[in-house]
């Protein structure tokens, strides 16, 4: 089962918190363990040094005061198991107990001590120790050792004697156990708290998303693509997302309105020739006619069919998908020359010329670009009868520009922005003529669409009494 976004956020927050807590805990554990270990090590070394100094002081004192030693010890008596003769001076377990008590501090018990001397004339060691000195500890060379919970500091004394100080370091194990118990309670509590907090924070963060989701669903149900979305703006990521969606919905609304207007205009323009064609066929079949009358009726039918065919072809060109373009190297000067020749054939009296132009090539669809240039040329011939029409191909930077200009009456500033929209026709240009476009209002729209499909644009310039200039801009290609 796939979890919701809120649940995933909460789980990730808990996981991140738990991982952070685990890392911090591990760091604290190793830091505190290191400090405790170092403290115990320093304490053991310090206690061993102090005990060693006291033992050496005791031996020195008894060697300098043999009277006192003899008063307390009988030389004729055999060596007591808890006494050790070092340098002709006896050191007892009681002496080591007293020294151990003298070296304790901070409420902590002093180290357990063992004094060892080599056996005269033989191998091994002879030792005397405090009552709590751990059993089984061998005589070691000078240094610091750790055996389990024991920290052993071995210090050399005069006369080849060795003093071993044993310090219990169980506090380190107790600290680890206490830390483990605390972690066993704190880590689940931290995870639970992070999970709850993450759930609450995720809910607050997702509240604008839920509002956006509700608004988008309402737009989908109601179809009002221009309805403003809540929180749209530039303050944060969600606000920018809402603004982007709102702008996208607005563009979809514009596209839908254009498509609806296009379909209405297409239906209107198709209805008229179809109705005329149906009426002509019904009228012809209603009454017997002679051969000449049938021929005249068929010519009328042929003109209506031609108009319908032209309209259908133009609609297909206007709705052409970019993926359907036949990309190839296209010579623009050749297309401009063909358009000029066709215009002269349609109207032998038309003053149409191709000005000297460089041989420029672009990457594109030859049929679509040729239709665009032809539409601009035929449009100039049709709407500016008797005017001089010039066609020129030029290069400007990385662009190729095809300009069709006439010195006719031009158009008003109110009409110019609407030219290029599908099926838009000024009132004075609605009649059919010999150009073959039959006044559908698609010529400039096809030219603009062709330029856009090739990554370019169509610019229109005109003013009353100053002629009309149309420019198709297309990126230059290789070849």
Place of tokens 């042929």: 302
Nearest-5° angle of CA 70, CA 72, CA 76? 55
Q: pLDDT at position 9, please?
A: 75
Q: Quick one: pLDDT band at residue 261, thresholds 50, 70, 90? A: low
Torsion angle, CA of 391/396/399/400, rounded to 10 degrees?
20
The answer to whether 116 touches 125, Cβ cutoff 8 Å, is yes
The answer to whether 152 touches 137, Cβ cutoff 8 Å, is yes
Domains of the chain: 5-173 (no CATH), 224-319 (no CATH), 323-475 (3.30.565.10)
Q: Quick one: pLDDT band at residue 393, thresholds 50, 70, 90? A: very high
User: Token pair for residue 202?
Assistant: 């995720």
Q: pLDDT at position 395, please?
A: 92
Q: Quick one: pLDDT band at residue 324, thresholds 50, 70, 90? A: low
Half-sphere exposure of 474 (CA within 13 A, CB side): 31
**Percentage of the chain lying above the pLDDT 90 cut:** 12
CA distances, 377 to each of 20, 76, 114, 342, 478 (Å): 74, 143, 118, 9, 26
Phi, psi for 2 (deg, rounded to 5): -80, 130
**According to the 3-state scheme, what is the secondary structure of 295-307?**
HHHHHHHHHHHHH
pTM, whole model, 2 decimals? Answer: 0.44
CA dist 354 and 340 (Å) reads: 7
- Residues contacting 468, CB < 8 A, separation 6+: 380, 383, 384, 405, 406, 408, 410, 411, 460, 461, 462
- Residues contacting 298, CB < 8 A, separation 6+: none
Residues listed for the chain: 479
Place of tokens 């219990």: 168
Which of 21-30, 42-51, 72-81 ranks highest by mean pLDDT?
Answer: 42-51
Quick one: residue 441, left, alpha or beta (phi over 0 = left, psi -120 to 50 = alpha)?
Answer: left
Q: pLDDT at position 101, please?
A: 85
Residues 149-175: tens digit of each pLDDT: 788 999 998 768 889 999 887 777 777
Residues 3-15: tens digit of each pLDDT: 777 787 788 888 8
Q: Is 113 helix (H, G, I), strand (E, B) or coil?
A: strand
Please say if the pLDDT value at position 436 is more than 60.
Answer: no
Residue 213, burial from CB neighbour count under 10 angstroms (0-12, 13-18, 19+): exposed
Mean per-residue pLDDT, 430-459: 69
Q: Distance between alpha carbon 219 and the CA centroid of its chain, in Å?
A: 28
Question: In 3D, which of 199, 188, 189, 237 has the Cα closest to residue 13?
Answer: 199
Residues 189-227: tens digit of each pLDDT: 888 888 888 888 888 777 777 788 788 888 878 778 888
């Amino acid at each position: 089962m796939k979890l919701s976004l809120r649940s995933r956020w909460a789980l990730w927050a808990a996981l991140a918190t738990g991982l952070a807590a685990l890392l911090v805990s591990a760091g604290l554990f190793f830091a505190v363990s290191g400090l405790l270990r170092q403290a115990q090590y320093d304490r053991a070394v310090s206690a061993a040094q102090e005990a060693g100094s006291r033992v050496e002081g005791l031996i020195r004192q008894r060697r300098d005061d043999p009277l006192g030693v003899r008063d307390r010890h009988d030389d004729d008596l055999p060596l007591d198991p808890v006494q050790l003769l070092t340098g002709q001076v006896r050191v007892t377990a009681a002496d080591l107990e007293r020294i151990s008590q003298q070296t304790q501090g901070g409420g902590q018990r002093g180290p357990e001590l063992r004094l060892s001397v080599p056996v005269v004339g033989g191998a091994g060691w002879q030792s005397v120790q405090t009552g709590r000195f751990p059993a089984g500890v061998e005589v070691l060379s000078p240094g610091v050792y750790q055996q389990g919970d024991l920290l052993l500091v071995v210090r050399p004394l005069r006369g080849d004697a060795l003093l071993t100080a044993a310090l219990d370091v169980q506090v380190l194990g107790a600290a680890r156990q206490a830390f483990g118990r605390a972690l066993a309670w704190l880590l689940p509590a931290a995870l639970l708290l992070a999970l709850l907090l993450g759930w609450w924070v995720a809910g607050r963060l997702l509240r604008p998303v839920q509002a956006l989701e509700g608004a988008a669903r309402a737009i989908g149900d109601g179809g009002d693509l221009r309805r403003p979305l809540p929180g749209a703006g530039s303050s944060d990521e969600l606000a920018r997302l809402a603004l982007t969606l709102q702008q996208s919905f607005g563009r979809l609304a514009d596209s839908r309105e254009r498509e609806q207007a296009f379909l209405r205009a297409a239906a209107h323009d198709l209805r008229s020739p179809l109705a005329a064609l149906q009426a002509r066929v019904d009228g012809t079949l209603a009454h017997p006619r002679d051969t000449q009358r049938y021929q005249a009726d068929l010519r009328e039918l042929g003109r209506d069919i031609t108009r319908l065919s032209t309209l259908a072809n133009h609609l297909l060109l206007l709705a052409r998908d970019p993926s359907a373009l036949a990309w190839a190297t296209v010579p623009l000067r050749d297309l401009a020359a063909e358009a000029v020749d066709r215009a002269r054939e349609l109207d032998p009296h038309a003053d149409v010329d191709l000005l000297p132009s460089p041989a420029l090539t672009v990457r594109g669809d030859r049929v679509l670009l040729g239709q665009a240039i032809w539409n601009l040329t035929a449009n100039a011939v049709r709407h500016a009868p008797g005017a001089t029409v010039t066609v020129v191909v030029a290069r400007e930077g990385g662009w190729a520009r095809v300009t069709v200009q006439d010195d006719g009456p031009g158009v008003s500033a109110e009409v110019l922005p609407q030219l290029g929209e599908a099926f838009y026709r000024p009132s004075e240009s609605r009649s059919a003529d010999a150009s073959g476009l039959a006044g559908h209002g698609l010529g400039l729209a096809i030219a603009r669409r062709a330029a856009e499909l090739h990554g370019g644009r169509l610019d229109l310039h005109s003013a009353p009494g100053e002629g009309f200039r149309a420019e198709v801009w297309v990126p230059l290609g290789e070849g």
